[in-house]
Structure 1
Amino acid sequence: MLFAVGGRWDIAAAAWIFPVLLLRFTRLSRVWTGALWILLAHTAAAVFWIQESAIGLSPVTAVGAAALAAVQTLPFLADRLLVGRLRPAVAVWAFPAAVAGGEFLITVVSPFGTAYGSLAVTQYGDLPLLQIISVTGSYGIGFLIAGFASTVNRIWERPSWRGGLVYGAVLLAVVLAGGARLAFSPAPGTTVRIAGVSAGRAVTDELTATLGRITGGAAGIAAAPASTVRPAMTAVENDLLASTRREAAAGAKIVVWPEEAVKTQEAHESDAIAAAQEQARRSGIYLEIGLRVYSTTAPAHGRDEAILIDPHGKVLWTYQKAHPIPGSEKFTPGDGRVPVADTPYGRIADVICYDADFPALMRTRADIMLVPSHDWKEYGGAHTMKASLRAIEGGYSLVRQDAEGVSTAYDNKGRVLATTDYFTTGQQTVVAYVPTHGATTIYDRIGDLFAWLCLAGVAVLTLLALARPWRPAPAVSRTGTDRATD
């Protein structure tokens, strides 16, 4: 289970194996004893993910881990309570519907979105399988994995290949349909050259050291004399402008800076924007810039913004991050309206980093989605993988420029167009030829209907179970003899 938590050490097969064994455990255990152990297992996995991702265990993350674990325990508890009251052919669907519904609930009621708790990201790279999320959202993968666990346990308890054949046919149909979608989808027509640029390591490290010497956090930086911070901030800005000129000269029509690419005190924000406007106008490009604005206004003491500038130097939008990271970012959230601009290169949209962990926000009619981001070494790769799911769901290409992580461009099927790792290359640039026309997906049209149907299915199965008398299901004990479950 520890190798299927959506982290940097994920193993795809582990995500299919651990639910089989945990489900077997709960069916061989007393109801509440089994549920308690499952809760502890999920809590341990969540804490492992926090440590593996170098997020840091704090009261906020600890409470979040326990809350997420509780939601993830509910499908196992539902299976344990329902399986003895339903016909086997019906009961086999209770667990997968509950898992998919639970993943959906996490994105709706928690501030964590799909950052943790989604099994889909564990299958990163298996593009034929992942195409199903263009219909069901990421919850379809959780449904299939949980369906495998439920089917194996049914065969384990009552040796019969009928259920296995049904599930195998469903999984085969999903994979074949996904493969056909990849193989027979029209080849991309017009493309646009997009360059993502991050500031060089030297100027970035110097700015980090400069800000680290100032006490008082964001408030202290906002109030610091300009002479103490402005030179290092300007060096980063100039490095980004130079990289932008270089990529524009090489043919880029859109240049993307990462989240918080330019750090500036509020009094100098207009100067930073004006310099970017002038560069966009001179180079004749669309330029997306990320700004970290330090303000003396409490409690946020600043803003996290993304600004898109057109080739005439006009600011098309100023977008503020809609989902600040719980426990670590105090920014006032933006209104959650994803900006979209019609350009000669298609409809371009923009969110910031953690926003891409919320599928409902990302369900936007666009051709190209820009995702300026700022991660760190232990989490950058995994976070970019999560964002790739949104491209398949939304039917748009996605360009994620990560300040300190893995920057990648994807097409609307999740195929990698270009990628680079901040920590393994000297030049912090990714260049991709990105299709200018997206596609409307079924998920884009119906939204989270599949997830709602799963929740409704659990409710219906519960009513059916209540209408039937309790019928203990035979299970194999540890000694190999048949016994009735408690």
Structure 2
Amino acid sequence: MNTAGNTTLRNNRPTPPTWRRHALLAAGATAQLFAVGGRWDIAAAAWIFPVLLLRFTRTGRAWSGALWVWAANIAAAAFWLFESEMGFSPVTLGGAVALAALLTLPFLLDRLLTGRLRPWMALLTFPAALAGAEFLITLLSPFGTAYGALAVTQYGNLPLLQVISVTGSYGIGFLIAWCAAVVNRAWEAASWRSVRGSVVTCTAVLLAVVLGGGARLAFAQPGAPAVRIAGVTADASLIRAQKAAIARISGGRREIAAAPPAQLVPALTAVRDSLLAATRREAGAGAKIVVWPEEAVKTLAADEDATIAAARAEARRSRIYLEIGVEVYSTAGPGRDEALLIGPAGTVLWTYQKAHPIPGSEPFAPGDGRVPVAATPYGRLANVICYDADFPGMMRTRADIMLVPSHDWQEYGRAHTEKAALRAIESGYAVARQDAEGVSTAYDHLGQVLATADYFTTGRQTMVAQVPTAGVTTVYDRIGDSFAWGCLVAVVVLIGAALVAPAGPHPRRP
């Protein structure tokens, strides 16, 4: 048994004193709290915590180490729920435990396999497994990349992030995990000579990624002309009055729909009229596309046609493309969360229903997930709603400008909007995300900020941006999730190689 004052050998590896292993676990778990995709993220923490947790698991028993890392992952997910004000419910807590388990598997596989594999194969185990786990989260869970993707922690590092135009967001997780594996190999090495090749290769790849991304940013051609896009939100005082009117009605959504019209309709109409006035103002200033947030206008089912008719009349009067977010209250069901694009002639070009309602908090029936695209004089316009943008596979759409009406809250608005920048880089289109009660931002296809507005710090909740009207075709757009699937295949191959390897640890040198 290992004691605090001795170092023993386990599987031919030195095992540090217990107190030192616990210090590694505590430091790694603490660093991970600041690499969860929330408002308190520190980019460097995402590179530090895998190094420390990997060192912890490699120097102890496999299954007990995995349980401790699972606990650290649960703590990180719970911290994300806390800092983002998501709320603790059976759905969110159950999701946190399940996602934590999936994100623990890369550490367990590394611990079980690396001692039985050749050094170069061992170095690939952790990064391939982590990138594969991030991909599986988007495939199997209802949370998408909202939690569990390390790429979101690197927001603002545009040269590094350009690699996701090839690999998808999973490429960032792979690079971070690969660095952690290389650092741990160097930590274990008896001499520099035995790890020199690994360190030099990893460093060279990272430099190539950053230099290549920098070149992509530096030599990007302005190309197509820009279009003026305005995102508008109703006057904040009217939104507060609307919330108060709704809060006075006891019960759920059906009871709201069944309430006497005089109790609710005046507040709903005031918000609608504020949005129409803001639309008219921005069109007069030169905007050709105006975007309302998700659920910008709330309406009873009986009044839905009149609400849409008012928006159509405004689009026709101002000769603009108008994207409106509508929340419908119905006595027949949970209602709908939808977005409509109205053309300059007043024609409804699409009605899109949110495909990914937030688990546990949005009772709407999901839409079919088909992203609508319309050809316009300002390029191909496409549309999803808020949380839909956390699903990269759905967002891989041939478009020039992606409109993302959204509705967040103060503690999560900025972090959620920043995640939308990844979709712009991956798919090569501009993104205009108008966020009610959050941070609205427009990005170009490189993830560069074109304009931004914070609902809580601006007197007029309006964002105006000059947005390029032509996107680019990225490698990721063409090959999709081939890199992520390749990582999963690599994990299967590595497991097979470990199973047929001779018993006992593989020599650390070829």
Is structure 2 residue 281 aligned with structure 1 residue 250?
A: no
Match of residue 329, structure 1, among 362, 366, 386: 362
- Which residue number in structure 2 is paired with residue 218 of structure 1? 253
- Which residue number in structure 2 is paired with residue 455 of structure 1? 488
Is structure 2 residue 325 aligned with structure 1 residue 290?
A: yes
Return the alpha-carbon distance in structure 1 between the equivalents of residues 375 and 260 of structure 2.
Answer: 41
- Which residue number in structure 1 is paired with residue 276 of structure 2? 241
Return the alpha-carbon distance in structure 1 between the equivalents of residues 474 and 462 of structure 2.
Answer: 30
Residue 90 of structure 1 and its aligned partner are, at CA, apart by: 1.6
Task: Say how many residue pairs are matched.
Answer: 473
Return the alpha-carbon distance in structure 2 between the equivalents of residues 250 and 406 of structure 1.
Answer: 22
- Which residue number in structure 2 is paired with residue 265 of structure 1? 300
Residue 56 of structure 1 and its aligned partner are, at CA, apart by: 0.4
Return the alpha-carbon distance in structure 1 between the equivalents of residues 398 and 378 of structure 2.
Answer: 14
- Which residue number in structure 2 is paired with residue 231 of structure 1? 266
- Fraction of identical pairs, as percent: 69
1:380 counterpart letter in structure 2: G
Return the alpha-carbon distance in structure 2 between the equivalents of residues 52 and 308 of structure 1.
Answer: 34
Return the alpha-carbon distance in structure 1 between the equivalents of residues 505 and 410 of structure 2.
Answer: 50
Q: How does 1:69-80 map to 2 (within 5 A)?
A: 69-80=100-111
- Which residue number in structure 2 is paired with residue 375 of structure 1? 408
Return the alpha-carbon distance in structure 2 between the equivalents of residues 58 and 330 of structure 1.
Answer: 15
2:61 counterpart letter in structure 1: R
| SS of residue matched to 1:3 | coil
Residue 473 of structure 1 and its aligned partner are, at CA, apart by: 7.1
Is structure 2 residue 344 aligned with structure 1 residue 311?
A: yes
Match of residue 126, structure 2, among 72, 76, 95: 95
1:145 counterpart letter in structure 2: I
- Which residue number in structure 1 is paired with residue 200 of structure 2? 165
- Which residue number in structure 2 is paired with residue 478 of structure 1? none
Runs of 4+ in 1 over 6 A off after TM superposition: none
Is structure 2 residue 109 aligned with structure 1 residue 42?
A: no
- Which residue number in structure 2 is paired with residue 13 of structure 1? 44
2:72 counterpart letter in structure 1: A
Is structure 2 residue 231 aligned with structure 1 residue 196?
A: yes
- Which residue number in structure 1 is paired with residue 440 of structure 2? 407
TM-score (norm 2): 0.92
- Which residue number in structure 2 is paired with residue 480 of structure 1? none
Return the alpha-carbon distance in structure 1 between the equivalents of residues 419 and 205 of structure 2.
Answer: 25
Is structure 2 residue 425 aligned with structure 1 residue 392?
A: yes
Return the alpha-carbon distance in structure 2 between the equivalents of residues 473 and 269 of structure 1.
Answer: 68
Is structure 2 residue 58 aligned with structure 1 residue 27?
A: yes
1:288-316 residue CA offsets vs partner (Å, 9 max, x unmatched): 00000000113x2x100100000000000
1:416-469 residue CA offsets vs partner (Å, 9 max, x unmatched): 000010011110000000000000111011100000000000111111111112
Residue 187 of structure 1 and its aligned partner are, at CA, apart by: 1.5
Return the alpha-carbon distance in structure 2 between the equivalents of residues 473 and 126 of structure 1.
Answer: 38
Unaligned stretches of 5+ residues in structure 1: 476-486
Question: Would the alpha carbon gap of residues 23 and 474 (structure 1) be closer, same or farther in structure 2, given more than 3 Å must change?
Answer: farther
Match of residue 58, structure 1, among 77, 89, 92: 89
CA contact (8 A) 2:166 2:476 kept: yes
Return the alpha-carbon distance in structure 2 between the equivalents of residues 458 and 400 of structure 1.
Answer: 36
- Which residue number in structure 1 is paired with residue 29 of structure 2? none
Bigger Cα displacement from structure 2, 306-315 vs 86-95: 86-95
Residue 261 of structure 1 and its aligned partner are, at CA, apart by: 0.2
Q: CA RMSD in A?
A: 1.0
TM-score (norm 1): 0.96
- Which residue number in structure 1 is paired with residue 165 of structure 2? 134
CA contact (8 A) 1:417 1:434 kept: yes
CA contact (8 A) 1:341 1:348 kept: yes
Return the alpha-carbon distance in structure 2 between the equivalents of residues 236 and 340 of structure 1.
Answer: 28
Unaligned stretches of 5+ residues in structure 2: 1-31
Return the alpha-carbon distance in structure 2 between the equivalents of residues 474 and 460 of structure 1.
Answer: 20
Residue 220 of structure 1 and its aligned partner are, at CA, apart by: 1.2
CA contact (8 A) 1:84 1:470 kept: no
- Which residue number in structure 2 is paired with residue 339 of structure 1? 372
- Which residue number in structure 2 is paired with residue 278 of structure 1? 313
- Which residue number in structure 2 is paired with residue 482 of structure 1? none
| SS of residue matched to 2:435 | coil
